Amino acid sequence: MSRLEVRELSASYRRGTVLSGVSATVDAGGWLGIIGPNGAGKSTLLKAIAGLVRHEGAVLVDGRPLAELRRRERARAIGYAPQIPQLPIGLTVTDYVLLGRTPHLGLLGREGPGDLEVVRTVLDRLDLARLAERALATLSGGERQRAVLARALAQRAGVLLLDEPTTGLDVGHAQALLDLVDELRRELGTTVVMTLHDLTLAAQYAERLLLLDSGRVAAEGTPAEVLTPEALEQRYTARVTVLHTPDGSPVIAPIRG
């Protein structure tokens, strides 16, 4: 169970500031969706939390600054599935997903039956079992994306950062993935932070949403609080109507001009 705290995070690339004073807290087992228009800083925020871009401010897991953790400890604390990963394309799906188990291996660095079982289960759930021995290079875009997510899920880190995890996935595979993440959350108490452009899906799975605009927090709250037609018009320059599913979850429907 891991509680994530992001305090006053700021980050800049050479061209200028991309994140300014972003703060957020995600309770253990919570699910925070990061939304916002292109270029708002969503991916940079995840990379900063993962410790992959230089930033100011602090990221704490269960009150401990991540910057103080050793590499292996950090890999157990935080898992990250990037939007555009660098893939060792010669590896098979199984060997690649097994890399996710690295922070859990013993001194000899050999995987045990437990590690193989975790990998098998994740492959099965993400419909990758029949591709287990295929090289990553031979996979389709959506299959590759699922392999990247499988590796992050196999890591079983306390906090899971997912950058646009459903990009390139068909609706069924997208649902299977988010359902699996939800299960990990319920069973293991995994804390999830996910960026997503699909606002309807974000509303269905995330408990809370954080709307970023130009590197700042424009709104934070439950999906119903954040996803108002006014906010979407203002932040995305979009014409939308907000409908609701029978269980009350917002559905964002674009209106043709």
Residues that bind ligand ATP (CB under 6 A): 13, 15, 18, 36, 38-44
Q: Are 119 and 154 in contact (CB under 8 A)?
A: yes
Return the number of the residue (15 or 71) whose C-beta is nearest ligand ATP: 15
Phi, psi angles (nearest 5°) of residue 250: -65, 140
Return the number of the residue (38 or 237) whose C-beta is nearest ligand ATP: 38
Return the number of the residue (115 or 164) whose C-beta is nearest ligand ATP: 164
Minimum distance from residue 13 beta carbon to ligand ATP (Å)? 3
How far apart, in Å, are the Cα atoms of 76 and each of 50, 153, 158, 159? Answer: 12, 11, 7, 8
Distance CA(79)–CA(118), nearest Å, equals 15
Minimum distance from residue 45 beta carbon to ligand ATP (Å)? 7
Minimum distance from residue 198 beta carbon to ligand ATP (Å)? 12
Surface-to-core class of residue 118, CB atoms within 10 Å of its CB (0-12 exposed, 13-18 middle, 19+ buried): buried
Minimum distance from residue 248 beta carbon to ligand ATP (Å)? 27
Distance CA(58)–CA(79), nearest Å, equals 17
Return the number of the residue (40 or 61) whose C-beta is nearest ligand ATP: 40
